[in-house]
Structure formats: C-alpha cells, structure tokens
Structure 1
Amino acid sequence: MSNKILLLGLALLFISSCKEQDYKVTENIQTKEISGNNQISLNGTWELIGFYNYKDNVVVDSFSNNTISRQVKMYSDNKVMWCKLLKSDSIEFFGYGSYNHNDDILTETLEFGSAFMNDIIQEQQEFNFKLQLSENRFEQIEIDEDGNKIYSENYVRVE
C-alpha cells in the first residue's frame, strides 16, 4: 500500500475521531439477495454517517461523522463521484470515476479528483472494498491483504 494512501486513511481516521459519539454497533445490516428484478442498487445519493474500526473482523470502535465534515457519494448506473466538505478547504477532497459491484465486492476506479486525490490516483486508480448493502444503507469496508476487515465508511441513502 502506498504511503499516500496510508496517510490519507490515517488523516481521515484522525479527523473522524476528534469527537467520539456514543454510536450503537449492535445494529446488524440486513442484506437482500441480489437477483433478478429485486436487485438493490447503489444508484442514488448517499451521505457518510460514521465509521467502524475492526479487530479480528469484529467492530471494536465506532465514530460518528459529526460536524467536522460532510461527505456525499453519488452513484449512477456506471459512475461514482464523491466529495467531502472540509471547513478549512472547500475545494479539496473529491473524486470521480467508474464503479461496479457484484455479490459483496465494490470496486471504484477513479479517473480524476482534487489535487490531493490526483496524487493518489497516479499511484493507484482502483479501490476494492467489501460491500454490505441494504436498501437505504451501505458499508464499504477496507480489507487487508489477508482479507481481514480494517475499517468501514457507513452511508445512508439521502435520495
């Protein structure tokens, strides 16, 4: 993993952990079978509501995405765009590209982004996550090289 990606992950974790909020981890995300016309789609607009940290594939800590920043992701049939509002820099942190998901894997391939993200994209364009998707909520979970969960970004559908 490149140093820039690791630095970005640590920076996001640090920012999100500045104000811990009591967040119930007991909710179990129910995923529906993805088959035929009953397929659950990522199409729409989603807002980041929090993060989970994992140890031994079990949630050990959770953080709310509170007033420090806002992050929104938008998915169309084939494209994804995300943006993060930082009070310190209103034009930093966005990315655009394509995506696909099947079963429980989400792959985003970024084409361009903000200045910081373009540096990361030069080194790595494709990002793979474990996906837990329900009708109005999803978790994109970063996994290590052994397939163990590291942390997740947790989103709710806003449109």
Structure 2
Amino acid sequence: MKKYVFAFCIILIFSCKKDTNNTTNDASELNSNESNLSLQGAWELVSYFNYRDDGSIDTIMSSNSLKQIKMYSPTKVMWSRLRASDSLDWFGYGDYTANDSVLTEVLDYGSKAMNNVIKENKEFVFQLVLKEDSFSQIQLDEQGNPMFAENYKRIE
C-alpha cells in the first residue's frame, strides 16, 4: 500500500510541475504579444478629443479637409497635416521614444509655422495608449489631467 501512495505522490508532483511550466509558457506568450506592439508604420488621424473641465469630451472627426498622417521608423517621426481652410503648411520631423505609456517627440524642424513653435519648445510629451491598429496621444496639463487627444488608425 505504501508503494501505491508513494507512486501516486510522485505522479502528482510531476504533473503539477508540468502544469506550472505550461502556465509560465502561456504567460510568456501573452507578455510577448503585448510587447510586440510598435508605433513603426504609417498612421492616419481619425479624430481629436477635447477634454472639458466638467468631464465631458468634444470629438472632432477627421475629414477630407482635415487630414493628418504620421510615420514612425525605429527612431524617427514625421508628420504632415492638410487643412483645406488654412493656407499654412504644417509638418514636422524629428526623433521619438515610446515606452510604457509615454510618447516623447523631439522635433528638429518643420514647416515655417511649425518652426515658430519649435523655437519655443521642441520636445512634446504625451500619454500613449497603443493598441495593435490604433493609438492615442494625449496631452496632459500640469496636474496630469487630459486636455486633448489625437486618435490614429494604422494604415500601413
């Protein structure tokens, strides 16, 4: 009888160990899939959110007269904006980093209008919400409250 109890305990120990390894592998695969998210590629602006003090959000949808495209390489960002009602060109180029939930863009140069902005501030820090085929960059105020967001969909 003692032999059967001993054999049962050995089988139980090995089967538990095997299950633990499978759980670890499943968790590794899940974390690997999450870490595979990347900004690399081309993105099209789909909407803006303007956050109000009362907690409400105004949404402005993109249209043929309001377009913006962002392109990310492994280290560089470039964006361009078309506003049919605006005679100014809008574009920017520079470096970026993205980690966890923070996107930082440091622009080297841009259109004439954007260069005026870059003279005052060339680093732009956003809260980042990244999914497989969409992302949002959210501008926060000094207290960490959202002010506005640009929402993109992946086009390439």
- Mapped to 1, the partners of 2:129 and 2:85 lie a distance apart of 32
- The residue number in structure 2 matching 1:158 is 155
Which digits, 9 at most, give the CA deviation of each residue in 1:35-70, with x for residues without a partner? Answer: 588420000000000011223595522110112221
Give the one of 142, 146, 149 matched to 2:143: 146
1:45 aligns with 2:42: yes
- Mapped to 1, the partners of 2:78 and 2:155 lie a distance apart of 15
- The residue number in structure 2 matching 1:28 is none
- Mapped to 1, the partners of 2:71 and 2:104 lie a distance apart of 14
Matches within 5 A, 1:16-31: none
- Mapped to 1, the partners of 2:120 and 2:130 lie a distance apart of 28
Higher-helix-fraction structure: 2
- Mapped to 2, the partners of 1:124 and 1:60 lie a distance apart of 27
Q: CA RMSD in A?
A: 2.3
Moved more, 108-117 or 36-45: 36-45
Moved more, 105-114 or 34-43: 34-43
- Mapped to 2, the partners of 1:94 and 1:34 lie a distance apart of 35
SS of equivalent residue, structure 2 residue 70: strand
Query: Please, what TM-score do these two structures have when normalized by structure 2?
Result: 0.74
From the superposition, tell whether residues 73 and 37 of structure 1 become closer, same or farther in structure 2 (CA, over 3 Å): same
Query: Please, what TM-score do these two structures have when normalized by structure 1?
Result: 0.72
- The residue number in structure 2 matching 1:135 is 132
- Mapped to 1, the partners of 2:85 and 2:79 lie a distance apart of 18
Q: Which runs of 4+ in 1 moved over 4 A?
A: 33-37, 56-59, 88-91
SS of equivalent residue, structure 1 residue 83: strand
1:125 aligns with 2:122: yes
Q: Contact between 2:47 and 2:150, CA under 8 Å: does it hold in 1?
A: yes
Compute the displacement of 1:87 (Å): 2.5
Gaps of 5+ in 1: 1-32
From the superposition, tell whether residues 119 and 34 of structure 1 become closer, same or farther in structure 2 (CA, over 3 Å): farther
Q: Relative contact order (alpha carbons < 8 A, sep ≥ 6): 1 or 2 greater?
A: 1
Provide the aligned length of Structure 1 versus Structure 2: 127
State, as a whole percentage, how many aligned pairs show the same letter. 46
For residue 144 of structure 1, what is the amino acid of its counterpart? D
SS of equivalent residue, structure 1 residue 122: helix
